[in-house]
Structure 1
């Protein structure tokens, strides 16, 4: 089922275009840059552009097996999908997006239009004489797909095309109704250091092509659906600053001289990074905002803090530990050579404290290869703790679901648990699509003494 691979598919027609060599190159560049950045190298969103004159009948989005045959773009004869993924340039480049599971196909009444996110069909290739286009957008997040389709439709509309929406699962695409974001005028003035009046702030937003109204000190701003960069009210404050003009802000001399220095927490994190890097691990940098699904797949017992009104499901929670993020990273790199050893030292958010949540600092390392063992992880853990000035610690057996029974332990210092180490459970490996054994440990840096 496509729901398990790439659950969302949107489409629209752009009719009445004229192409030459330059416009074809611009179209290809727009498509590639869009899926590279907004689409996260096609993993999150992929775009297909087809000659609409070759499309017949109803559009169907389905999943097929690796033995299904069609003629990919650039080839002159049909081939099984398994061969396309191994021998076609785009198949090799984007195989990591599918990981050998069922393969999604976008089809019409005569056959295959595209195999997202990899390659289009040769039958629907865009030519110089093409005047009408079919745009297909597939991905793992509906709103991200809608943004991509809006961007394409606005570009083609600006070039004189007529856009025709297509209904999918009872929803017309692209959806163009703007989102409303609320912004406190006091917050604007505090951050920018300028006493804007309501009418002035609204004028600045309208200079940036953002409609806005003001009521009781609150700005109601309408953000267009082809803009994917409005994640927080501070993004609107930036638009006000741009509308006002950066050169219009008057610089102010600081009233007090201060001298900064690196805090002990940062020094400790840097020591942890140096220790794990010297042990052969490569540092990863993942977001504190995350998708809670990764925690479920990792069989985590930590309750992640959820965001009340997330912009996207991909960033609907705050991570409570680092291991799910690293397993997700390894899952996205199964096409790269092994062994793979990665680590991260950074912030997590846990429940508790006066405010209901607390920010903590963790360090986590994972080794993934055919010979990965608890001995390897224990050696790296010892090296890390000794580098942080901890020579006396103990490992006590524990029973967490995410690790294999009898091959896991709590890391104890002075009778207090400060972390965990173990061989990752096969069910977790299967959930992340990993075919190699993994060993991991994660420690709470806040619980360690500052060396």
Structure 2
């Protein structure tokens, strides 16, 4: 989760009241912010969840706390002034959205927060600017409309942010810090994307760096915000979050729509002035939370989280969500907000509809077998590792040549590294070996965890398996090492495994075996192909094994 730093005094002036450190420690977790520290000089450091990018700056936190504490403030004033921008066509980064915020009152701290929000959004939601990036410009330093277009990198120049001399676009990639960090995104393009004004002034080299001439300062009164990227929804999301956050510093809270004319003459309007409309059934709320709540209290809790109620009929409430709440997709997200407004601690005390226990608590059999195998492996000198269940197709499939296989992917991934669910443990074990190859030439590691397997025979189209994965590497590691530890584990469980030659993509064909008990296949043991290890810089052989504990448990119960 991204770490955000804000000044306590700045938070207090935006909210309109003094907050004790105890109140900050209590309130922030209630809106999905985990407080790390509050320093003696009043700097608050917190982590915000990936699904709440609207909380990546003090403005978003203050806005949510005002609703939560019942402190009234003016709503945003969205206006249409007929402002247009032009997307001239960038095939490899096809979308751009804009918005204008007026009547700002800024100082050094508010400018710092704007820059922090811009960077955090581009790094997380924008995937380090590859999926999307953001720019903020002093509107009074150039002439609208603006154009998003491609330019010759050797014949187009401007003064980059924090620099004193003019550079052409190619020099900016080579000489500036941002160019060196993010230049790889566009370096191989024949022409580079820029945003310019109606008089030809360059506002930014996209997605690298803005112009020094349009820098936002404490004297800036009006700003233009842009987001460029690969997806139209993403760029509108980012512009909406930036515009509504910056508008917290506006005396009039005026946000101006900008219509971007696309190459095909369609229009992309930003920012969004409201979120989705969602119907909420009270029965669903009570079923999920386990407590009975009347309509009046539901409305109160919705208001505490910033939602607008537009219709109450029978047992149903129709809600319009805030434009910056891009995490809300369905009614279950609204129920989560209601739970936070009530307080999970209060729900735990009041819940009276949870099903009664039918037996004393006991460890689940799958957890029992997991703990038992963990003890066995630790006893034989193996080190346990823990990796994320989230992964990506390259690590799970492509690296091993599994071109015909698929993993379960998520619709809106926040990071390139985590775009889907892992289907086996071997990639995670191999990653640990790669990361530590310079430190240790000999490793014996294991992981016990869940994987997600596509399965058309199930209701959901997928099934979850609990597995133990084992990896061994040293100068003389062979398949025999893997067979030995697998046999040891299963013998300790009073089982007699057999091994049969099999084929697994990415493994040595003559050194790959399936693990069977009574004819039932429960896993595999194999040596990873040397060419794959060579490409990863691993100097020694690697033997891996995976055992499906769900199948093992069924056999043990027979």
Q: What is the TM-score normalised by the length of structure 2?
A: 0.58
CA shift digits 1:47-88 (9 cap, x unpaired): 222233444564225598899976532233456778766764
Q: From the superposition, tell whether residues 358 and 162 of structure 1 become closer, same or farther in structure 2 (CA, over 3 Å).
A: closer
Q: Corresponding residue for 1:321?
A: 423
Report the CA distance between 1:22 and its aligned residue: 3.0
Q: Name the residue aligned to 1:75.
A: 163
2:293 matches 1:196: yes
- Which shows bigger deviation, 101-110 or 148-157? 101-110
SS of equivalent residue, structure 2 residue 450: strand
Alignment of 1:122 onto 2:215: no
Q: Shift in Å at residue 135 of structure 1?
A: 1.4
* Residues 87/16 of structure 1: CA separation in 2 closer, same or farther (3 Å cut): same
Match for 1:183 among 267, 280, 286? 280
**How much does 1:136 deviate?**
1.9
> Corresponding residue for 2:366?
265
For the pair 1:284 / 2:394, whether they are aligned, the reply is no
Aligned to 1:445: 548
Secondary structure of residue in 1 paired with 2:367: helix
How far apart are the structure 2 equivalents of 1:78 and 1:119?
A: 13
Q: Does residue 351 of structure 1 match 2:351?
A: no
- Partners of 2:392 and 2:422 within 8 A in 1: no
User: Which residue matches 1:107?
Assistant: 195
Q: Is the 8 A contact 2:158 2:168 kept in 1?
A: yes
Q: Which of 225, 237, 241 is the matching residue for 2:335? A: 237
Q: Secondary structure at the match of 2:324?
A: coil
Contact 1:147 1:227 survives alignment (8 Å): no
Aligned match of 1:153:
243
Query: How far apart, in 1, do the equivalents of 2:426 and 2:313 lie?
Result: 43
Aligned residue runs from structure 1 range 161-176, under 5 A:
161-167=254-260, 169=262, 170-176=267-273
Cα gap change, 1:168 to 1:313, in 2 (>3 Å) = farther
Q: Distance in 1 between matches of 2:419 and 2:246?
A: 36
Q: Structure 1 residues 374 and 323, CA, compared in 2 at 3 Å: closer, same or farther?
A: farther
C-alpha distance in structure 1 between counterparts of 2:186 and 2:504, whole Å: 31
- What's 1:51 paired with? 138
* 1:131 is the counterpart of 2:221: yes
Decide whether the 8 Å contact of 1:205 with 1:211 is kept in 2: yes
Report the 3-state secondary structure (helix = DSSP H, G, I; strand = E; otherwise coil) of the residue aligned with 1:251. Answer: helix
Q: Distance in 2 between matches of 1:377 and 1:139?
A: 48
Q: Are the aligned partners of 2:282 and 2:316 in contact in 1 as well (CA < 8 Å)?
A: yes
Q: What residue number does 2:31 align with?
A: none
Partner Cα separation in structure 1 for residue 300 and residue 483 of structure 2 = 60
2:306 to 174, 198, 209: 209
User: Which deviations, in whole Å up to 9, do the C-alpha atoms of 1:278-321 show, x marking residues without a partner?
Assistant: 7789642143xx777987856454455688xx6x3779997361
- TM-superposed CA distance for 1:241, in Å, is 3.3
In structure 2, relative to structure 1, the CA distance for the partners of 1:154 and 1:112 (3 Å cut) is closer
Q: Secondary structure at the match of 2:349?
A: coil
Distance in 2 (CA, whole Å) between partners of 1:265 and 1:61 is 57
Superposed CA RMSD:
5.4
Deviation at 1:192, TM superposition (A): 2.4
Q: 1:262 to 1:47 in 2, by over 3 A?
A: farther
Deviation at 1:107, TM superposition (A): 2.5
CA shift at 1:186, angstroms?
Answer: 1.8
Q: Which whole-Å deviations, capped at 9, do the CAs of 1:165-201 have from their partners, x for residues lacking one? A: 2415331122334213343322211232322234543
The Cα of 1:139 is off from its aligned counterpart by 4.1
Measured in 2, the distance between the counterparts of 1:324 and 1:279 equals 16
Structure 2 unaligned blocks of 5 or more: 1-88
Q: Which of 103, 107, 117 in structure 2 is aligned with 1:16? A: 103
By how many angstroms is 1:205 displaced? 1.7
Query: Can you list the C-alpha shifts for 1:109-160, whole angstroms capped at 9, x where unaligned?
Result: 33460332x4333343223443332212234554343222112111233313
Q: Answer yes or no: is the 8 Å Cα contact 1:302–1:321 preserved in 2.
A: no
**What is the distance in 1 between the residues matched to 2:470 and 2:91?**
32
> Quick check: 2:274–2:321 contact (8 Å CA) kept in 1?
no
Greater shift, 196-205 or 219-228, is seen at 196-205
| CA displacement at 1:210 relative to structure 2 | 1.4
Map of 2:48 onto structure 1:
none
Residues 253-288 of structure 1 show CA distances to partners (whole Å, capped at 9, x for unaligned) of 997697645434335556569969x7789642143x
Hey, what's the Cα distance between the residues in 2 that align with 1:82 and 1:325? 38
Asked if 1:225 is matched to 2:332, the reply is: no
Alpha-carbon deviation of 1:417? 6.5
> Residues 304 and 435 (structure 1 numbering): CA distance in 2 closer, same or farther, change over 3 Å?
closer
State how far apart, in whole Å, the 1-side matches of 2:164 and 2:299 are.
Answer: 57
Structure whose alpha-carbon radius of gyration is higher: 2
Verify the 8 A CA contact 1:389 1:449 in the aligned structure 2: no
Name the CA distance, whole Å, in 2 between partners of 1:100 and 1:424.
34
